[in-house]
A and B are shown apart, each in its own frame.
Chain A
Amino acid sequence: MDNLHPLESKVLLALAPQPGSPSTLDHLAESTGLEPSQLSMAVEWLLAKSLIAVHAETVAYIASLTPVGEVFFEKYAPIERVLSAAREAGQIGKRLTIQDIQAKEALEPSDVSKAVGTLKKEGAILIVQGGCIESTGRNSPTAEAMRALLQELRSGQRELQTFAEPLRAVLQQHAVKRGNAREPFRVDERVTRSFLLTPTGQEVADQLSRDGVAEEVSQLTPELLKEGAWRTKQFRKYTISLRAPRIAAGKRHPYREFLDLVKLKLVSMGFQEMRGTLVETEFWNMDALFMPQFHPARDIHDVYFVKNPTHAKNIAEPYLTNVTQVHENGAGAGSTGWGYQFDAERAKRLVLRSQGTAVSARRLATSPSVPGKYFSIARCFRYDQVDATHATDFFQVEGIVLGSDITFRTLLGLLNLFAREVAQAKEVKFLPAYFPFTEPSVEMHVRHPKLGWMELGGAGLFRPEVTTPLGVSVPVIAWGLGLDRMAMVALGIHDIRDLFSADLEFIRTMRGSF
């Protein structure tokens, strides 16, 4: 009942008033006013739903003119033309052969010979000496029947049964049959079915006539709303279990979403964002971080060097002097220094930033707040073969915390906070670690719900050889989080290169769980 199409309702209602009396399609077309195609569609649906049943099936034979018949009607049938040609010739004392008639009347030889055969049989003509045709003056019943049939069917088709003999016999004789398409008539079989409501159909129809039919519509339109016509409409129900068509959304990159979340966490913990440059001097990338100029990580195989210009114009003072001294003899920082001759030219060498700590070093030199917390999400470059675990450039999340209350224990406290807030980890392990610019140094391992124990980051207290030359006199925590692995798990990928994928379909379908 719910699923009735408006067409179906119409048919049911047309059948309802005369219970028990069958209706044919013609009747229904009349009473519903539906187009034949709509009607037959509705009837088929109702039959399928067993709301109506076929009451009777009758076969009728319908006679109609063929295109040949149309021509015969215009120019008369060959039999008439043969007969009248014979009569006209007789009146002026001439005799015509079959060929003469054929030429005169421009008829097909087969038509002429068939007509002559019939006329001779009916005694309307005689074949006399020389193959000539002579009118007997008698009528031809076939010719007359032909004329009557052409006349009759010209105005429209008729059921074969309604023709009396001998017309019916002539019609059947001259109807299109297999192998002979040149005939003026055709007889077609037509099945006429009549329909009755089934008991269920009767119920539905009664209900419909009681409740009235709300016209069903597929789309609510502004007009329906404006006119309030929606009140009398029913909205066709959809098959909602079908799969939805695909669309593309405007959306953030899932990896960026992850980084945005990290950013949010850090800001909510009181961290200020810092930014730096992609190209850095060795000074800020390494020297200021107390990495000696002979340190293995400064090798040509670890850092990308810039081609042009190769060197920065200058390094700001007093930092260059301070850092030079601290490398050479530790002066000012209570250190022995590295005990080598610092190369100021090397300090100016331009490199692609290889560690986010460079951003922190610059921040330390530009009057940071005390107490202060800072972070950066900095793109860094390493001289590595690109593979599943190494990208040509990648994000480092790192930062600093300055304060008079900073100690080794507050460092551990901060890392605990990171573990809880950033990695949602409940279990944390601290291991001794080594970084050139911190002492003590810590590596933090957390128990990840999916990965088990994993390294989350490294941290430490900046060496005084780092802070003092940059004008900072309070202890400073330096920290860095290795989040790529966590991000990869959250995004369900196994290759770090996929974080920077160039495949739109992949990016559109990638989603994170974090």
Chain B
Amino acid sequence: MPTIFLQRDDLEALIAGPDETASRISIDQLEQWLMLVKGELKGHNTETGELRIELQDSNRPDLWCCEGIARQIRTKQQGVAMSYPFFKKQKRAAGKLVVAPGLEQVRPYVAACTAIGYRVTASGLAQLIQTQEKLADIFGRKRRTVSIGLYRLAPIIFPVSYDLVKPDDVRFTPLGMETVMTLREILMVHPKGVEYGGIVSGHDRLPILRDAKGQVLSFPPIINSREIGEVQVGDDHLFVEVTGTDLHMVALTLNIFAANLADRGAVIAPVEIQSPVKTAFGKRWHTPIDFGAPRTIPLKAIETALGEALGSKEVTTALKSYGYTVKSAGPKVAVQLPPYRNDLLHTVDVVEDVAISQGYARFAPVMPSQFTVGGLSRLEQMADRVRHLMVGMEFQEIISNIMGSHQDFCTRMRLDGTEWAKVVEVDNVMSLSYSCLRQWITPSLLQVETNSSRAFYPHRMFEVGEVAVPDARADVGSRTITMLGAVIAHAGAHFSEIHSCLDLLLYYLDRSFTLEPVPHPSFLEGRAGRIMLDGRAIGLLGELHPEVLEQWQIGVPAVALELEIDRLLEEV
């Protein structure tokens, strides 16, 4: 899903590791390795060394950054997961972060750590900001569930408080502004306030992060303070915090950031979170936190799903070199994800990781051998018969979009205000040209006629396609009908022409029909008929009203036929 930009030499350095000399990686090799992260190289600028990579897995936010991609590749090369000591329980925290009561109603969770010893470079900063944005935007659903703040550590005096304040009670200078503003002003004036304000709207008190001296760090999830919350190139003491609405997602996001900074050489120190209420982590805990648990899986389950008897050794090797902690015990394996991942919902997730780690080429394709009978639905068979007969009557088949405008489907057909004008409409309209589903085919064909006055005549065209007709009795409020629409247009187009087509069509389909006069606004009065089959209306035909033709700017007479193919199947 996300597409990220990274520097080729940065990636190479991270794959090599902090104490190793990086070596050039060919693009071919890179593309091979990207399979480990479900990544696709979308672009490569040979001058700047910039790579554009699309990552597919929306459950693996740890891979949406240069560090994460490098980590997965490096793990495969080394055969084991990298160790991050800060995930182990440590007695000493760098400081405390105290959560105030009441936040459980607004934005309950927070995680934080410090990172010292990595001097921020320009390209490193670009990566930090990109990761922050991608995680908050996609994983954090546009900051709603997760948002991230990066700060210079030096000015911050612990303990930091995560608090609720009234919108006018606190003021600070936000990033991107020159003057001190209240939270209310930020929500009204600041671009980020306007963009993300909806997340905290409806609360009379708003979240704020301040240090022991009352200096504002940020107004989560909207904006950081300009003084403390602007990391610059050259900084080497950082403070990272994550706030959000989901305890595990907040913790995971911080874990990813901590691992990323550690990969770049920073020493991570935890922050102790103090919560007023009991959470899944208790009332006091350190972040980063390894909250994963081992899961025991029968080896057989993996082998059966893959269709290959890999054996315990290969499975263990595959998972270890993909970052898992693995303990093999006879017919079972106990596996645990690294702390920067939280996407193990089911055994099948492990199965896939085994396959990815070994490479899909490891598994020889086998043809499914069980016998099945193929066939088309009765409706499709009938639709195909109708299509072939229409072709035989010298009609050109058309395929149109089903989505269109009320203007085309109703207004231009003189249907406004009538029962014929009921259509399925879209709530979140992107463009008025595509705001509803067609309830009949004729407008689609008239659209073609409008564009085709220079194509030689006569014009005979048809479409067999789906339409949606609102129907209160239907489960989903509308019925999807497979419909035949046909239009004949030329200087002498006449009712009897289309009537003959209908007559012949239904003769071959062995359905005896009658026509009843119908006052339909799209057709000339007295020249339109309702097609009746066993006492039920199954369609319409007639000479199109001159006003309809005028609306479509069509300069020749035209006749139309509309027939429900579903109905041809009934009661036979």
Point out residues on A near B: beta carbons under 8 Å.
246, 248-253, 255-256, 260, 263, 266-281, 294-297, 300, 304-310, 312-314, 330, 333-340, 350, 352, 369, 371-373, 379, 381, 383, 385-386, 391-393, 401, 403-410, 412-417, 430-434, 436, 439-442, 461, 463-465, 475, 477, 499-500, 502-505, 507-508
Contacts and interface: CB of A to CB of B under 8 A. Distances in A.
A502 B449 CA distance: 8
Contacts of B104: none
A463 B345 CA distance: 10
Most buried by A among B365, B368, B396, B472: B368
B38 interface: yes
A46 to B, nearest CB: 40
A462 B108 CA distance: 35
Given A275-B377, A277-B476, A336-B345, A408 B56 contact: no
A508 B434 CA distance: 26
Contact of A463 (B248, B346, B479): B346
Contacts of B57: 434
Contacts of B369: 405
B491 interface: no
A407 B425 contact: no
Query: Which of A336, A381, A407, A415 lies at the interface centre, i.e. has the most chain B CB atoms within 10 A of its CB?
Result: A407
B360 A307 contact: no
Interface residues of B, number: 95
Contacts, number: 279
Nearest to B31: A431
Contacts of B304: 407
Given A253-B397, A409-B306, A371 B370 contact: yes
A277 B480 contact: yes
Contact of A373 (B374, B448, B479): B374
Nearest to B476: A279
Contacts of A461: 305, 348
A267 B384 CA distance: 14
Nearest to A290: B345
Contacts of A248: 394, 396, 456, 458, 460
A307 B427 contact: yes
- The residue in A255, A279, A312, A386 that gathers the most chain B C-beta atoms within 10 A of its C-beta is A279
Given A294-B145, A465-B346, A507 B396 contact: yes
B307 A409 contact: yes
A270 B374 contact: yes
Contact of B459 (A271, A442, A464, A504): A504
A249 B396 contact: yes
Interface of B: 1, 35-36, 38, 56-59, 138, 141, 145, 246, 248, 304-308, 344-349, 351-352, 355-356, 360-361, 363-377, 379-380, 384, 387, 390-403, 424-428, 430-431, 434, 437, 444, 447-452, 454-456, 458-461, 466, 468, 472, 475-480
Contacts of A401: 368
Nearest to B346: A335
A461 B444 CA distance: 39
Closest CB pairs A-B (n = 5)? A407-B307, A504-B452, A250-B394, A409-B307, A371-B370
A272 B376 CA distance: 6
23 contacts: A250-B395, A281-B476, A296-B141, A304-B428, A306-B426, A310-B427, A333-B346, A381-B402, A405-B370, A409-B307, A410-B307, A410-B368, A415-B365, A432-B352, A439-B346, A440-B348, A440-B351, A440-B352, A440-B355, A465-B346, A502-B400, A503-B455, A504-B451
B367 A371 contact: no
A253 B346 contact: no
A266 B373 CA distance: 11
Given A263-B380, A414-B368, 8 more contacts: A249-B394, A273-B377, A312-B475, A405-B369, A405-B370, A432-B355, A434-B57, A477-B368
